[in-house]
Amino acid sequence: MFVIGACQREGKVIVGKHRRQPHAAPSQVAAQRGPRLVGITDARTHTEHLVSEATVAAGRHAGQFLAQCGAEVLAASLTAPGRGYCRECAR
């Protein structure tokens, strides 16, 4: 993030455009939280399954993903309402 204006750092005033220092390294934050999961509704069963972000990135062109429970999910339209959540993914 860029900040325009004056900033005081270590007793000195820095004028102009400069970057703020991040509070924590992204690798440290991700290691503490575990894998990030995304809910995707299956077009065949209308059940929402949890899929990791890495799996979503790998299968986004085909529209098929491997859920946490092991089910192969065919992504439904974002406007299609789901009928419930997968109990196996929630564990």
pLDDT in tens, the chain (91 residues): 444 455 555 666 666 665 665 555 555 555 556 778 999 999 999 999 999 999 898 888 888 999 999 999 999 888 777 788 999 998 8
CA distance 79 to 59: 20
CA distance 37 to 39: 7
Q: Tell me, what's the pLDDT at 58?
A: 87
Name the pTM for this structure. 0.60
Q: Tell me, what's the pLDDT at 67?
A: 94
Q: Tell me, what's the pLDDT at 78?
A: 81
Task: Give the structural domain span for 72.
Answer: 2-90
Total of domains in the chain: 1
Q: Tell me the two tokens of residue 76.
A: 């439904």
